[in-house]
Structure 1
Amino acid sequence: MISKNIKTAFALVILALSGTSCDDFLESKPISQIGETDFFKTESDFNQALVGAYSAFAQVYQGNGYYSLLVDLRSDNTTELTAGGDGNDAKRNIDEFRETTDNEHLTAFWQSSYVLIARANSILAKIDGSAVSDNLKKQYTGEALTLRALAYFNLVRLYGGIPLVAEPVTDIDASYSVGRSTPQEVYAQLEADLVKAEELVPVSYDESAVGRATKGAAQSLLGQIYLTQKKYTEAAAEFKKVVASGTYSLLPVYADLYKAGQQGNSEAIWQAQYKSASNYLGSNLPNHFAPTGSEGITIASGGAFGFNQPTDDIAAAYSVGDARRNNIADGYQNGSTFVAAKYIRGYVERETGGGYADSGADWYVIRYADILLMYAEALNEVNKGPVAEAYTAINLVRKRAKLADLSGLTYETFKTAVYNEERIESPFEGHRWFDLLRTDRALTVMNSKVSGGGKSTVGISTPIKPYQLLYPIPALAVITSTPAIVQNEGY
């Protein structure tokens, strides 16, 4: 379906990595700039290339693009400016909707996403003509399609229409004449790719390959793409496949989601995985989420930067007795002084490692609880009211949180309930801003929380405008492609 070939300023990088075991999957060292004529021949070559794609996938979620800041800091769930925060203008501007086209994090996220796309495209361009066995051809194709779809899904929601990169091209000058595809064209491509991918990738892998894209990941991602477009019947059908498969289940205790050693747990449909004590393969989540000044207290070493701290607003959103509220710490004890700086226990108090970016703390891209709640949302929309399956799905999540079952709700009251549940179930996993956009509530919700004349607890002090529902296209992309790529309205 992609008819446009582009090579942006972020040129194709082929990263081949060796090894197939779980540790090797995370620890492999890059062999940079391998020529395509000397590579992409054997099963080992394609496996190495996929490991390189997964390396780029991991960087999308914890590299300098700061995915969590672009989606959580943007929302009413976190802020950089609560007590203990210590950020720079680039982060503060995202928090306050004052970012400019040269914001370093917007540029870095764009770059890292297109690196992932380029690596996936290299695999897709070469796999059919290779001597790889049919079974592995199917698997590797499905994995590459799913990885690419995830990157595009993030990009189109953040930036709007984007360049669709179909395959590697070598003439970068020619690419400058090709503009942005519309969001509708992007979504059509993602649907086609994931319909294909879910038939190609396996249900699961052996322990050595935990973290690769599975059938459940492809189905879950496709369901989210349908839900975002308000294709509720199609979304419900995809989510039902995940639920009916019996592959996933909620962990009995919510806090266990954030304990050490949770890679590949029963609730994890897809994670970006990291490894401590291995050069440059750890995550920076504990360092970024720990309140400034708390190094040696909340986190042992590596710095505590307070980039992403819970707002008073999200802390107050929980009902009395909700077990999930304990994931928010209200502060920490510094000697005899209590420092009132909220932080997220699930990131700060877990697998902190031996310094900066040395944590083994993974990022949940998709959890089974998220799918249950979106399934309930889609069913309510399809049936214009909650049916039994919708109640079952939402009440499974509420039961683990120590809350009573819901019953007897109308279409509108159930919709309100599921929106609230989606917020408080996974408030710090990159969903809230996208949920507000998807349900057309971003302007209403955010502007209702503006603090008159002063700083709001959600990071904004003046109402936001419709054009700010999208980020600006990074100046680097616009400058190098003018007039093909036109800047988003308002920037």
Structure 2
Amino acid sequence: MELMMKKLNITLILAALWLSSCSDLLNTEPEQNISDEAVIVDEKSANTALVGVYDALQGYATSNIIGVDLASDNVVNYNNQNNLVPDLTPNNAGGGFSAIYKMINQANFVIALVPGVQDGFFTQEERNQVLGEAYFLRALGYLDLVKTYGGVQLVLAPATGPDTHKGTKRSTAAETYAQIGADLDQAEQLLKETVNRTRATRFSVYALKARYFTYLQNWEQAEANASKVIAQAGFKLVKPYSAFFTGKTTEESIFELVYSTSDRNSFYTNWLSPADGGRHDYIPAREFVSQLLDPARGGARKSLLKQTAEGSWDLIQYGKPDGSSSVFILRIAEQYLIRAEARANKAAPDFTGALADLNAIRSRSDVPASPLTAASGKEAFNLAILEERRLELPFEGHRFVDVVRTGRSASIFGAVNANRKNQQFNVLPIPLTAIQTDGDLVQNPGY
């Protein structure tokens, strides 16, 4: 993933995002009269700007989920159901590249301007909260970029004009991860240990750090951060399994994007049949459906699916036709699976602890306890955890990354599509629209 590139000119993208973000945050006209200095001037506009960052996250989250899920073996296009693990092209890969940068740019405005706000009613505690959330959201954006496209250009200041970031070069994956870690450290220092399932808190940071350190195979830190979240009484595995997505902000959620009938999530239209108000763009892959329906593997997780009149299976995790389905960025089930993987892989493995975490997930979903024992060994545990992650977190954007980061893309994806044995395809291509917008933007190798 550590790919370098020639000169990268992202100014056209970011200049456009600068203008749109200013307009969104201030809701004033005309657009061209808004300067960066006017975006955040007091406590009220700082919080308005922060809400704009969350709105931008809503704007890209589903695009990233479907981009990486279609690249895996969990999801197919309804009209091309036999094309499992397809070849990726700049025309069809998606992933939300430009939309992620829109969120990052808006977070950059908050990070750059909030420290200088002169407002006697804006306390240091409130200021820290706003800044901490912005650092967390920027870290999340870059983590979604690096897992999807590899090392990317690091833009850490707001785009205030058409040439602000001209000539910015692409960083390596290692440099991108280092920036993510720095942002998460800042967020941890600024945020409080409170439970708020719709806004970033220090527990959100712990949970994202656990994922981050898993990607880096820093197992001690992955376990430590996951354990901090699991130990918090406010987070629990809910039963039945379907409760976390049929309800809203349940104890399952650490960080959840909440929608309503007035702030609708249109993701349901991609997954439901026309009879239920959707377009049937995507469906779960047939082979994977059989696993979810297997009582010994999927158990209660079959509740993610609904069979249609013609016999296919729709995903109903995002299926509320009023547009109020949540998108789950962080939930407690992932933390148990992160800790299981970390315990099995750290220098002094704790297979007993790993098995306990794995069985906590299986028990919640009414699946028999794992046949593994503490003597089964690291490879057996890793395979079991990878399968459990597929079944537990199937449509939340994890499968592609899990297969790639565990070094199994050639054996799993390549078994379906021989072209995917090429490790160059362990990242998605930059979308063609971004390449066309910026003539200096160099595509990932192989595309």
Among 301, 314, 320, the alignment partner of 2:295 is 320
Which one-letter code corresponds to 2:317 in the other structure? G
Aligned to 2:75: 78
The equivalent of 1:21 in structure 2 is: none
Q: Which residue of 1 aligns with 2:444?
A: 488
Whether 1:9 aligns to 2:29 is no
Q: Determine the C-alpha separation between the residues in 2 that align with 1:93 and 1:421.
A: 24
Give 1:193-208 correspondences, 5 Å limit.
193-204=183-194
Pair 94,447 (structure 1): closer, same or farther in 2 beyond 3 Å: closer
Give the conservation status (yes or no) of the 8 Å contact 2:105–2:159. Answer: no
Deviation larger for 376-385 or 183-192: 376-385
Contact kept in structure 2, 1:159 and 1:470, CA below 8 Å: yes
Identify if the C-alpha distance between structure 1 residues 8 and 179 changes in structure 2 by more than 3 Å, giving closer, same or farther.
farther
Match of 1:257 in 2: 244
Q: Is 1:224 aligned with 2:211?
A: yes
Could you tell me which runs of 5 or more consecutive residues in structure 2 were left unpaired when the two chains were aligned: 1-7
User: What one-letter code is carried by the residue in structure 2 that aligns with 1:193?
Assistant: D
Quote how far apart the aligned CAs of 1:242 are.
1.3
Q: Contact 1:384–1:411 (CA<8 Å) still a contact in 2?
A: no
Number of paired residues? 426
Task: Report deviation, 1:430.
Answer: 1.1
For residues 363 and 151 of structure 2, the distance between their equivalents in structure 1, rounded to whole angstroms, comes to: 40
The 1:480–1:462 alpha-carbon spacing in structure 2 relative to 1, beyond 3 Å, is closer
What is the aligned partner in structure 2 of residue 134 from structure 1?
124
Q: What's the % identity of the aligned pairs?
A: 27
The answer as to 2:265 corresponding to 1:309 is: no
Q: In the TM superposition, what whole-angstrom CA distance separates every residue of 1:324-358 from its partner, at most 9, and x where no partner exists?
A: 3423546323xxxxx1211113223xx211xxxxx
In structure 2, how many angstroms separate the alpha carbons of the residues matched to 1:103 and 1:345? Answer: 24
Q: What is aligned with 1:233?
A: 220
Q: 1:345 aligns with which of 316, 322, 325?
A: 316
Matches within 5 A, 1:66-465: 66-80=63-77, 85-86=78-79, 96-100=86-90, 102-103=91-92, 105-106=94-95, 109-131=96-118, 132-173=122-163, 175-204=165-194, 210-259=197-246, 261-262=247-248, 264-276=249-261, 278=262, 281-291=263-273, 295-296=274-275, 299=276, 301=277, 304-318=278-292, 319-321=294-296, 322-329=298-305, 331-333=307-309, 339-348=310-319, 351-353=320-322, 359-383=323-347, 385-406=349-370, 407-408=373-374, 409-448=376-415, 450=416, 460=417, 463-465=420-422
How far is the alpha carbon of 1:133 from its aligned partner?
A: 1.2
1:455 aligned partner: none
After superposition, give the CA deviation of every residue in 1:269-303 in whole Å (9 maximum; x if it has no partner).
11122111x2xx21112211013xxx23xx1x3xx
Deviation at 1:99, TM superposition (A): 1.5
Residues 176 and 480 in structure 1, CA contact (< 8 A), matched pair in contact too? no
Q: Secondary structure at the match of 1:366?
A: strand
| 2: CA distance, partners of 1:332 / 1:48 | 42
Which whole-Å CA distance do the structure 2 matches of 1:203 and 1:17 have between them? Answer: 30
Contact kept? 2:148, 2:427, Cα under 8 Å: yes
- In 1, distance between residues paired with 2:233 and 2:312? 41
Q: Does the 8 Å CA contact 1:97/1:464 hold for their aligned counterparts?
A: no
2:4 is matched with none
SS at 1:79's partner residue?
strand
Superimposed CA distance per residue, residues 345-401 of structure 1 (whole angstroms, 9 cap, x where no aligned partner): 3223xx211xxxxx0001111110011101110111014544333222222111111
2:329 match: secondary structure:
strand
- The CA deviation string for residues 433-485 of structure 1, in whole angstroms up to 9 with x for no partner, is 1111221112211122x2xxxxxxxxx586552211112223454455554x4
1:466 aligns with 2:423: yes
Query: Contact between 1:78 and 1:308, CA under 8 Å: does it hold in 2?
Result: yes
Instruction: Give 3-state SS (helix, strand or coil) of 1:218's partner.
Output: helix
CA deviation vs aligned residue, 1:136-165 (integer Å, no higher than 9, x gap):
111111100111111111111111121111
Alignment-derived partner of residue 22 in structure 1: none
Matched, 1:53 2:56: no
**Helix, strand or coil for the counterpart of 1:40?**
coil
Structure 1 residue 233, shift from structure 2 partner: 1.5
CA 461–40 in structure 1, closer or farther in 2 if over 3 Å, else same: same
AA aligned to 2:281 is F
Following TM superposition, by how much is the alpha carbon of 1:252 offset from its aligned partner in structure 2, in angstroms?
A: 2.1
**Partners in 2 of 1:362 and 1:490 — Cα distance?**
35
Report Cα offsets for 1:19-62 as digits up to 9, x if no partner.
xxxxxxxxxx9446443333412111111001111100111123
Structure 1: which 5+ residue stretches go unaligned? 19-28, 334-338, 354-358, 451-459
Tell me the amino acid that sits aligned with residue 422 of structure 1: R
AA in 1 matched with 2:422: K
- Whether the aligned pair in 2 keeps the contact of 1:176 and 1:481 (CA below 8 Å) is no
Conserved 8 A contact 1:195-1:222 = no
Using the alignment, how far apart are the partners of 1:97 and 1:69 within structure 2?
A: 15
Q: Counterpart of 1:225 in structure 2: which amino acid?
A: Y
Deviation of the 1:199 alpha carbon:
2.5
Structure 1 pair 182–461 and aligned structure 2 pair: CA distance change class (3 A): closer
Over the residues paired in the alignment, what is the CA RMSD in angstroms?
2.7
Q: Conserved in 1, the CA contact under 8 Å of 2:254 and 2:330?
A: yes
The residue matched to 1:327 in structure 2 has which SS? helix
Quick check: 1:15–1:52 contact (8 Å CA) kept in 2? Answer: no
Question: One-letter code of the match for 1:443?
Answer: A
Q: Deviations over 1:419-440 (max 9, x none)?
A: 1111101111111111112211
In the alignment, the residues of structure 2 paired with residue 5 and residue 126 of structure 1 have an alpha-carbon distance, to the nearest angstrom, of 24
Q: Deviations over 1:293-328 (max 9, x none)?
A: xx23xx1x3xx2222211122123344354334235
Local SS of the residue matching 1:9 = helix
Q: 1:204: how far off? A: 3.1
Q: In the alignment, what sits opposite 1:356?
A: none
